[in-house]
Chains A and B, each alone.
Chain A
Amino acid sequence: MNERIIHILIDSFPKIILPGIAMTIPLTVIAFSLALIIGLVTAMIQFANVKVLKPLARFYVWVVRGTPLLVQLFVVFYGLPSVGILIDPFPAAVIVFAINEGAYSAETIRSALEAVPAGQLEAGYCAGMTYMQTMRRIVLPQALRTAVPPLSNSVIAMLKDTSLAANITVAEMLMATQRAVSVYYEPLWLYLEVGLIYLLFTTLFTWLQRRLEKRLNRSVKGAQNA
């Protein structure tokens, strides 16, 4: 690595990490938060066997999990305008990532709900609580504790997958790197650099996940060995 390369790496660093902070992170955080809401509702509908809605929920999960994320991005960004629906790149990416991740989260949360012993719900009934009260106060907290590690993995996977948004002109990190490559003609070093920045971000998320798990362990101590 000579001086020129070092110079290029330092020069390009802010150009790559700033879109990361301005686009990659917000896209991940916003889309994942929405995905959690979608996933929770979808999982609850299936868990509670809600008529009519349950087949719809299954259909949604089936379609989304069975098609590539990139195709979903293209359908929304390049396809929908032909029926008069125009969405800007960033909101389009948020919508697609939220809907996509929502389906995976739904499955994670559903299986976590099913892992809570049926006796917990029955004990809630016998304590005089309604279905919703028992779900909110007893079953969901235990299920979420189980769901946190797999959901954290999903956040990290999603953070990396946001690079796909470059394909629908979202100016995120990969696109910024491609631009830098076209200026400096150093693809190897620049792509390694963006890889390192992704690694930095995912390490940060992993660290946050650990802290969250520790806190949850403290507040719902023993929930896992019920």
Chain B
Amino acid sequence: MLEVRGLFKSFGQSEILRGIDLTVEKGDVIAIIGPSGSGKTTLLRCMNYLERADAGQMVFDDVTYDMKLVTKKEILDIRRRTGFVFQNYNLFANKTALKNITEGLTTARKIPAEEARETGLRMLEKVGLAGYEDYYPASLSGGQQQRVAIARAIAPDPEVIYFDEPTSALDPELTKEVLEVMRALAAEGSTMVVVTHEMAFAKNVANKVIFMEGGRIVEAADAETFFAAPAQDRSREFLHGLDY
């Protein structure tokens, strides 16, 4: 469904992504793990064109895009078929929880307000926040904000949702409620690419694991295989050092 080939990205002199190839099948839950600074965030950002790649190809629903030369219109179209959940939520500070969800439906996708509202309320319920539609982000806890952010990302029914360490800014208690929501999404068959430090999530929820280091994919494997017996020494060392 989604494929990235030969993705390169540098910031100034430093090469951050050095030839990434990855494939996402429909229904996949892919956990991307790796040490800090290995380029995980940059990879997700390039895939949603928040950063422009220096080279690379993306095949999305059988259409091939040059990740460097992709046009604004194509980017808009790709983004409207994907969702993105940020580490620090990035809810629209001037919008209520409900408006955070409906904004992308009404403004970007021209869905009628009433229909968008219904979808929004349904999404809030889905992430366990029924009744919170009129709350502003500032009056929600981190866990609640992240769940609204997830509701916002899934409301347009995207083909794939990217998560960049969705729980790493949260306390363990709040982490649990967010992971619960993500687990439910995965169970429904949503296609998800999740950068995470939560090894339990990677092990129990993801079906594939990608281990990155130094801007390269060191190992990509089935989650089960990966955690039972990593093929690469570096993966083994990394897992060992984590002590999850």
Contact = CB atoms under 8 A, between A and B. Distances in A.
A127 interface: yes
A226 B104 contact: no
A129 B88 contact: no
B14 interface: no
Interface residues of A, number: 24
B94 A223 contact: yes
A125 B78 CA distance: 11
A128 B92 contact: no
B76 interface: yes
Interface in B45-98: 48-50, 76, 79-80, 82-84, 86, 88, 90-95
Given A120-B90, A137-B103, A127 B108 contact: yes
Contacts of B156: 128
A141 B136 CA distance: 15
Interface string A122-153: 11111111100100011001100100000000
Interface residues of B, number: 29
Contact of A128 (B50, B93, B108, B139): B108
Nearest to A142: B94
Given A119-B88, A133-B107, A222-B139, A126 B79 contact: yes
B178 to A, nearest CB: 17
Interface string B27-44: 000000000000000000
Contact of A123 (B76, B80, B82, B86): B86
Interface in B96-146: 103-104, 107-109, 136-139
Contacts of A120: 90, 92-93
A221 B97 CA distance: 12
A222 B93 contact: yes
A10 interface: no
A122 B90 contact: yes
A189 to B, nearest CB: 50
Contacts of A226: 91, 93, 137-138
B108 A222 contact: no
- The residue among A137, A145, A225 with the most chain B CB atoms within 10 A of its own CB is A137
A114 to B, nearest CB: 15
A222 B49 CA distance: 29
A220 interface: yes
B84 A145 contact: no
B206 interface: no
A142 B107 contact: no
A225 B136 CA distance: 11
Nearest to A140: B94
Contacts of B197: none
Contacts of A138: 92, 94-95, 103
- The residue among A125, A126, A145 with the most chain B CB atoms within 10 A of its own CB is A126
Contacts of A117: 90
A133 B137 contact: no
Nearest to A129: B108
B153 A126 contact: yes
B11 to A, nearest CB: 15
Given A122-B90, A141-B94, A127 B103 contact: yes
Contacts of B103: 124, 127, 129, 137-138
Contacts of B91: 123, 226
A131 B86 CA distance: 19
A225 B153 contact: no
Interface in B135-187: 136-139, 152-153, 156
Contacts of A124: 92, 103
Interface of A: 117, 119-120, 122-130, 133, 137-138, 141-142, 145, 220-223, 225-226
6 contacts: A123-B92, A126-B153, A127-B108, A220-B94, A221-B136, A221-B139
Given A124-B103, A142-B93, A222-B136, 7 more contacts: A117-B90, A125-B48, A128-B80, A128-B108, A129-B107, A142-B94, A225-B138
